[in-house]
Structure 1
Amino acid sequence: MKEKFKGFILGCILMSMLMGTVAYAATTSTSIEVFFRDLKYKIDGLDKVPSAGKGFIYEGTTYVPLRFIGESLGKSVEWDGKTGTIWVGKKEGKHTELTSLKFARYDVEGSARMWTDAEEDGTLSVAGVNFQKGISGRVYNVTGPERKASIDYNLNGKYTKLTAIVGMDDASQNANATGTIRIIGDGKELKVISSLRGGDNPSNIEVDVANVLKLQIVFEADTNENNKVETLWIDFLEPKLFE
Structure 2
Amino acid sequence: MKKLLIVTSYLGFFILGGLTFTILSTTEAASNMIKISVVQDTINYYVDKVKKVPVEGQSGFIYQGTTYVPMRFVAESLGEQVTWDGKTKSIYIGDVPKFISLKDVKPIGYDEDHLFHYPSSIVISTGEKFDHSYQVGGYHGGGAVQDHTVEYLSNGNYKGFETYLAPVKKLVAGSSGIGSLKIYADDELIYNSGSIKDKVKVNVNLEGVSKVRFEILGSGLGILDPRFIQ
**Which of the pair is proportionally richer in helix?**
1
